[in-house]
Amino acid sequence: MGATFVKRAFKFRFYPSDVQAAELSRTFGCVRKVYNLALEARTQAWVLRQERVTYNATSAMLTAWKKTEELAYLNDVSCVPLQQALRHLQTAFTSFFAKRAQYPRFKSRKKTRRSAEYTTSAFRFREGELTLAKMAAPLQIVWSRPLPDGVTPSMVTVSQDAAGRWFVSLLCEDPGVKPLPVNGNAVGVDVGLDHLLTLSTGEKVGNPRHERRDRARLARAQRELSRKAKGDGANRAKARRKVARVHACIADRRRDCLHKLTTRLVRENQTIVIEDLTVRNLLKNGRLARAISDAAWGEFRSMLEYKAWWYGREVIVVDRWFPSSKLCSDCGSMRNKMPLSVRTWTCDACGVTHDRDENAAKNLLAAGLAVSACGAGVRPQRSTPGGQSAMKQEPLQREP
């Protein structure tokens, strides 16, 4: 049996000709139409007859739709992206019935991501040139980095973002992704706003505040958009793209920063301990929502987890109710209250002065190592009047 490699996507910018752009735009529209038709058919079948429609049934529906005069234009684009849309709908229903997601929603022409997925039967990749089905010429791709040697893409996804930029994503098996040599390093990571990351080693990573850097430019672009008449006019479309370009610039810088941080943490440490934060609930804080969104704690955790899986590292997630900030990392006693405004504090029991974030990172590391060693972590009760804490064993959340 051959070796099994990690599959990863390599994303590149490309610049389509007018003919290619028109063909891809038609494909995006047909993908959205087929998805919505299939969703409507499955919904009606359940509401009217309590019948579950399978992927094979929707595939047969697609064949019938193509034969009608009203939907004959579906024959003008490649059939593979249309079939992939039906597969994605089947996945959405599977997640819904497994109670992992909400009921699938219809795709919007203005809000839904414009994309189309091509499998190996719908594209040709030869000598560094990619040609999609229904197209005579290859795409003009900007190869910002090489693909792994001897690798052929198994799937291609073409997309266009709100700023009008075109991207192609090639899914390949990457033989270069292998487990790193095992080391004994372990680190606790506390995320924050004053500092993006605080490590248990005492190191603090500053918060770049990407959105704040472009806030004035973004506000100016949004004011120009608000002055345009609502509708599908060309001037409003130009103003909308200008706002989207500012947002894209901010997102690109943020993503680049997070990639560098997570790659460094995974390369240097065997075990990484983080806190299980409910970012969705934290965003309900009107005063901090903008800053929390800009910090992108959820994206940081997602990157950290999949890179750790790639390179044979371990990410341990500590329960969100673990009092990492209020617990003294030296003696184990705990304070009753710790407002967010308190950045340094002195333990009443041992007299040690703590930096709030560094102390939290140390406590997260200790709890994570307890999870790694015995499958349970220590959650202290409120400290006794003498300063000593009564300890009890409770399970902490851990990534599989």
Residues annotated as catalytic (active site), given as ranges: 190, 275, 357
Residue 244, classified by CB atoms within 10 Å of its CB into exposed (0-12), middle (13-18) or buried (19+), is middle
- For residue 169, list its beta bridge partners: 11, 157
User: Rounded to an integer, what distance in angstroms lies between the CA atom of residue 109 and that of residue 155?
Assistant: 24
Question: What per-residue string of b and e applies to 342-355 under the rule 16 or more CB within 10 Å gives b?
Answer: eeebebebeeeebe
User: Rounded to an integer, what distance in angstroms lies between the CA atom of residue 136 and that of residue 129?
Assistant: 12
Is there a contact between 324 and 368 (Cβ–Cβ < 8 Å)? no
Is there a contact between 36 and 71 (Cβ–Cβ < 8 Å)? no
The length of the chain is 400
List C-alpha distances in Å: 150 to 7, 127, 143, 169, 173.
14, 11, 16, 17, 10
Distance of CA 14 to the CA centre of its chain: 23
